[in-house]
C-alpha cells in the first residue's frame, strides 16, 4: 500500500516527465508557446493545471460533451 507522500513524489515525477516531453516537442518543432487542453473531470485536473501554469504553460478547459456536439453538428450540416 502506498502512502500519500509516495503518491505525491510519483505524481511530481510524472509531471516533470510531462514537462520534459513538452519542452522536447517545443524544441523539435521550434515553438515558443504551449496551449494545454484539459478535460475537467474528477479533481486530478486541478493539480495538473496548477502545475502547468506554474511552469508558464497556458491551460484551457475542454468540455468533451460540447466538442462532441459541435463535431456532430458539423457532420450533419
Of 6, 15, 8, the C-alpha closest to 48 is 15
Q: Residue 26 contacts by C-beta under 8 Å, 6 or more apart in sequence?
A: 32, 34
Threshold 0.75, pTM exceeds: no
- The pLDDT profile of the chain, 77 residues, written as one tens digit per residue, is 455 655 565 778 889 999 999 999 999 999 999 999 998 888 888 999 999 999 999 999 988 766 665 555 566 66
Cα separation values, 25 from 7, 8, 20, 22, 36, Å: 27, 26, 9, 5, 13
Amino acid at each position: 500500500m502506498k502512502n500519500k507522500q509516495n503518491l505525491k513524489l510519483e505524481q511530481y515525477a510524472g509531471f516533470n516527465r510531462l514537462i520534459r516531453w513538452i519542452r522536447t516537442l517545443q524544441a523539435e518543432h521550434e515553438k515558443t508557446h504551449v496551449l494545454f487542453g484539459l478535460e475537467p473531470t474528477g479533481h486530478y485536473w486541478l493539480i495538473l493545471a496548477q502545475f502547468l501554469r506554474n511552469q508558464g504553460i497556458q491551460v484551457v478547459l475542454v468540455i468533451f460533451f460540447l466538442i462532441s456536439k459541435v463535431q456532430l453538428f458539423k457532420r450533419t450540416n
